[in-house]
Amino acid sequence: MAAHGREVGVFMGWWERLCYSLGIKLSPDKQAFAKEYLDDAGWFLFSQMSLLDQRHSLRVARYIVRKAAFQRGIADLKELVQAALLHDAGKIKGEILWLYRLPVRLVRDLLPRGQKRWAVRDKSRSFRYALYVDLVHATRGAYMAKSLGLSPKVVSLIKRHHDPRPNFYEPELALLQEANSRN
C-alpha cells in the first residue's frame, strides 16, 4: 500500500508540474474550498503562490479539516485552516523553479546548516536564491500576512510552521506541522 501511495505521489508531482507549465489554474471546487476560509486579503496572498504551492496548501488544509474532528484543543479551526492555506505564502510564484524544488527540499532536510551557508538573496544565482526563498519563506509569509491584517494567530502559525516542536504542547502548531510533513 505504501509503495502504491508513493507511485501516486510521483505521478501527481509530474502532473502538477505539467499543469503549472501550461498555466492551468485550480479547479473551481478547490478555489471554493480556499475561498470558504480566506477573506480578500488571504485570497490575495494565496493567489500569489505557485499552483504547486496552492495544491500543497490545499492538501494540508484538507488534512487538518479531517483530523481536527478527532483532536482535542483546537481552539479555532477556521484560523488553523487559514494558516494551512497560507503557510507557504512566502514562496511567491516564479521564485523557485520547479526543477529546484526537490533539491531544495533535500538540502533543507538533510543539510540545514548548508542551506543557511549557501542561500543568497541574489536572483541571478537561481539555485542559491531558491535556497534563500525556502529558508525565509515562513518569516516572509508571516510578515506579508501581518501586513494585510490577518489575525495574530494565523501570522504566528505561518511564521513557526518549520520551527522545532515547542516544549509545551500546542495542538494547532502540532497539527499544522504534521499536515505539512505528510502532504
Q: Which domains does the chain have, with CATH numbers?
A: 26-182 (1.10.3210)
pLDDT confidence of residue 139: 98
Tell me what the mean pLDDT of segment 4-21 comes to.
Answer: 54
Handedness of CA 119, 121, 127, 128 (dihedral sign): negative
Please give the grid coordinates belonging to residue 27: 479547479
Q: Which long-range contacts (CB under 8 A, 24 or more apart) does 125-128 make?
A: 126/97, 126/100, 127/100, 127/103
Give the tens place of pLDDT for each residue, 22-68.
667 888 889 999 999 999 999 999 999 999 999 999 999 999 999 98
Please give the grid coordinates belonging to residue 24: 492551468
pLDDT confidence of residue 165: 78
Q: Which long-range contacts (CB under 8 A, 24 or more apart) does 26-34 make?
A: 26/51, 26/54, 26/55, 26/58, 30/54, 30/55, 30/58, 33/58, 33/61, 33/62, 34/58, 34/61, 34/85
